[in-house]
Structure 1
Amino acid sequence: MQRRTFVKAMSSMAAAGFMPQVFSASELNKPNFEIALSQYSFHRSIFGDSRKNYQTFIKLVHSDPDAVLQGPMDPREIVVVARQLGVGHVDLANILWFGRGQDKAWIQQFKNMAKDNNVGFTCLMCDELGKLGSSNKILRQQAIEKHKPWVETAAELGCLQLRVNAYGDGTYLAQLEQNAESMLQLAEFTQNMGIELVIENHGHPSSNAAWLAMLIEKVGHPNLGVYTDLDNFFMGGWNHSPQRRYDRTQGLIDLAPYTRGVSAKTHGFKANGQELTIDYFASLKILTDAGFNGFVCGEFEGKEMSEMQGSQATLDLLRATHRQIVGA
């Protein structure tokens, strides 16, 4: 399938008759959040089969990033898909267009497409830019410098936030100290660019919510917060077996005071539309009760449904959860 036909083919699967949310004056004073769609929900349509061998994939991302774009979907078409799904905001992932981040013509076309579809960008999630918590100070500074051009890209696109990873090496305490130095520098830089810096609980020590909360407190910068993933509370490496998990409820309580954005990940759904393993009402209620009122970004990661169907189901779940929370 050619890229130009992707959106046309997918549009037939979008839900019909979606009505945008309208809030009364009284509802505006209730716990609230806005809904966005994750670009990464369509990574299979963008990457095609290029991720089958992950080591080869990562090498290509750095050496020939356009070579991994083997699917029918152009990464920029996410704004068209979002509009078809009735969503006005999108979270972006740099890994999906790694070779185009500093391509001004490509970025301008992306902006034009977003404007044409009346879609805005919320958070730009950055990966593969080095370890901000490395024990090697030179490597830490190199990682900071690699992030800066993407901060500029985020600003050019009108993103509200830039998400980074607190990856490093050494003990938990060492990584806390090492990451804190880097995050302070980046928090200052992003603030000057009008972008909020957020750290996701995204594996390794950051999936230990107490550790991530301590990192935010140690840095103590008003432009630094957490991009809370409802599912990423597994500790250790990505392939650690058996998997060790930080209790989700406790994790959300720990991170709630610092949460500036939410990744609402789904893998599958029950017959009643609820996610298989995550209680969305309970999870988001913890965050809104703590004062969160930002963007909750739906990210479908399942394989039993198409990306369009799974994204639709994810957004439907978020809309239903929103109605529950504002009515609670």
Structure 2
Amino acid sequence: MNYKQEKRRAAIKKIAFVVGGIAIAPTLISQSLAKPFLASNPILPFQISLSQWAFESEIFGKGRDNYKWFKKMLEEDPQAVLQGSMDTTDIVVKAQKLGLHGVDLVTSMIYGHRNNTKWLRNFKQKGKDHDVSFICLMADTATKIGASDLLARKKAVDDHKHWIEAAVELGCEHIRVNPFGDGTYLQQMNQCSESLYELSEFASNVGMQLTVENHGHPSSNGAWLNMLIELTNHSNLGLFLDFGNFFMGGFNAKPRRWYDLKQGVIDLAPFTVGISGKARSFLPNGDIEMIDYDWNMEQVLASGFNGWVSAEYAGKEYSNTQGAQMIIDKLRKLQEKHKQSRTNLMT
């Protein structure tokens, strides 16, 4: 670690004690990191992709009903969990029918093929045949990059390196990892930071962008995640931003404690490489309930975002396809709105 990193780490430790539940004004945290490279389009303010996870019920069927069994079988026989009516590779067919040209993939849906180069390349070719590219590979594994045990942490880093190599074979633009660990908020920040730096370096060497997501536990505290990215201090590390994932604690924690949704976007917009365009319910006018997509998109676009927003319906009222279409409709309205604003500024 060089002197600059040591100095930055020491400075962040001094203020890290407040991240347990108190929002930090973004002016307290330097935004001096180099901006990660972004997928750019000179015409559209952002592009729309489809999340493979949006079709989890059709791909897994009853394969996730017993989660303990599901996690066990992912390691022992990953094909056994794919009990749904939809083949996992048919996500590219869904995207094409919805008029989209990008898909975000999830490792648990292709778990058995991580080291199968032929299968990965065939899947990539199927995407090309349907005019669809793979944008993000969301790495959800049992290993935690922020584990307090050094050997466990090394195993997690090595495990994720294999997924980075798989993402390269698939032609993804970036791979998202979860900054999960154990210990206090400060301990997890330091442990995750060390792993993220190594993974960012590894990914950079193979031409892959690395991202983290606000995805539960400390990472859903916008100030904590902001400081984690700052502490890691690697130009190849960016953020996969989920507008709705600002509940703190575990996924099953009750009652949930929420970090302020808008403060979270302010904290994380400067690092955003990709966005999870998730919705669980809609208002009568087609807007997404509980999340102010109009305001959020203004924030990330003002910070220089020009990447992909992944449509993911997570509700029960509509089918996966119907819900995805409603999110896409909303995103296309925002595309047009901001495209027109840019046109007006240029004329």
- TM (norm. structure 1) is 0.89
- 1:177 matched to 2:182: no
Q: What SS does the corresponding residue of 2:318 show, helix, strand or coil?
A: coil
* Contact kept in structure 1, 2:48 and 2:100, CA below 8 Å: yes
Which among 206, 216, 236 is matched to residue 203 of structure 1? 216
CA distance in 1 between counterparts of 2:265 and 2:121 reads 37
1:104 corresponding residue in structure 2: 117
CA distance in 2 between counterparts of 1:101 and 1:320 reads 37
CA distance in 2 between counterparts of 1:172 and 1:77 reads 40
1:132 corresponding residue in structure 2: 145
CA distance in 2 between counterparts of 1:76 and 1:245 reads 35
* Contact kept in structure 2, 1:121 and 1:157, CA below 8 Å: yes
- 1:41 matched to 2:54: yes
Q: What SS does the corresponding residue of 1:179 show, helix, strand or coil?
A: helix
RMSD across aligned C-alpha pairs, in angstroms? 1.3
Matches within 5 A, 1:24-35: 28=42, 32-35=45-48
CA distance in 1 between counterparts of 2:212 and 2:265 reads 14
1:8-60 alpha-carbon deviations (Å, 9 max, x no partner): xxxxxxxxxxxxxxxxxxx947x811111111111111001111122222211
2:244 corresponding residue in structure 1: 231
The AA in structure 2 aligned to 1:104 is T
CA distance in 2 between counterparts of 1:57 and 1:138 reads 25
Aligned residues: 301
2:173 corresponding residue in structure 1: 160
Percent identical: 47
Structure 1 runs (4+) deviating above 6 angstroms are none
Q: What SS does the corresponding residue of 1:82 show, helix, strand or coil?
A: helix
The AA in structure 2 aligned to 1:35 is I
* Contact kept in structure 2, 1:135 and 1:169, CA below 8 Å: yes
1:187 corresponding residue in structure 2: 200
CA distance in 1 between counterparts of 2:115 and 2:316 reads 32
* Contact kept in structure 1, 2:248 and 2:258, CA below 8 Å: yes
Q: What SS does the corresponding residue of 2:338 show, helix, strand or coil?
A: helix
1:70 corresponding residue in structure 2: 83
2:69 corresponding residue in structure 1: 56
Structure 2: state its 5+ residue gaps: 1-40, 342-347
* Contact kept in structure 2, 1:281 and 1:324, CA below 8 Å: no
* Contact kept in structure 2, 1:187 and 1:196, CA below 8 Å: yes
1:76-121 alpha-carbon deviations (Å, 9 max, x no partner): 1111110110000111101111111222232122122111111111
1:93 corresponding residue in structure 2: 106
CA distance in 1 between counterparts of 2:338 and 2:293 reads 10
1:259 corresponding residue in structure 2: 272
1:219-275 alpha-carbon deviations (Å, 9 max, x no partner): 110000111101100001111111100001000000011111111111121221111
* Contact kept in structure 1, 2:117 and 2:169, CA below 8 Å: no
Which among 278, 284, 291 is matched to residue 278 of structure 1? 291
CA distance in 2 between counterparts of 1:169 and 1:315 reads 37
1:164-205 alpha-carbon deviations (Å, 9 max, x no partner): 000001111111110010000000000011110000000000
2:14 corresponding residue in structure 1: none
* Contact kept in structure 2, 1:129 and 1:146, CA below 8 Å: no
Which among 124, 132, 135 is matched to residue 119 of structure 1? 132
Q: What SS does the corresponding residue of 1:36 show, helix, strand or coil?
A: strand
1:323 corresponding residue in structure 2: 336
Identify the range of structure 1 (37-46 vs 99-108) with the bigger mean alpha-carbon deviation.
99-108
Q: What SS does the corresponding residue of 1:140 show, helix, strand or coil?
A: helix
Structure 1: state its 5+ residue gaps: 1-26
2:319 corresponding residue in structure 1: 306
CA distance in 2 between counterparts of 1:111 and 1:198 reads 21
CA distance in 1 between counterparts of 2:339 and 2:295 reads 13
CA distance in 1 between counterparts of 2:98 and 2:249 reads 36
The AA in structure 2 aligned to 1:126 is A
Cα offset, 1:129, TM superposition? 4.2
